[in-house]
Amino acid sequence: MAIKYYIDESGHTGDLINSGKALDFDGQPIFSLACFGVNDETRLDGAIARLASKYQITSLELKSSSLKKKPGFTLDLVELICNESLPFFIEVVD
């Protein structure tokens, strides 16, 4: 089965078109990018749904800003990724 990869950034996307000539990204001191691979989306969806239910998360999209007060969810999600041996990549730029 083929692995599908999901990637997302945190904060400003660094869009040069919207910034113009100023290149003023100073409102964002840190930029992060994360990606992980999934070979069984149905199984992962179910596992994430169970975690969301456990931590009473009702949003359809997981946003880090809304998860700040739920560190247990984040820890459980990281443990899930590691236990399932999902390939992942995280980059943080200052």
Find the mean pLDDT for residues 11-16: 59
What is the structure's pLDDT at 10?
79
For 60, the 3-state DSSP assignment is coil
DSSP label at residue 49:
H
Per the confidence metrics, is the pTM higher than 0.85? no
Find the mean pLDDT for residues 63-83: 91
Of the two residues 20 and 90, the one the predictor is more confident about is 90
Summarised one tens digit per residue, pLDDT across range 39-72 is 999 999 999 999 999 999 998 888 887 888 999 9
CA–CA distance, 92 with 34 (Å, rounded to integer): 9
What is the structure's pLDDT at 11?
67
H/E stretch holding 37 reads strand 31-38
C-alpha distance from residue 11 to each of 27, 43, 52, 57, 93 (Å): 10, 29, 23, 21, 12
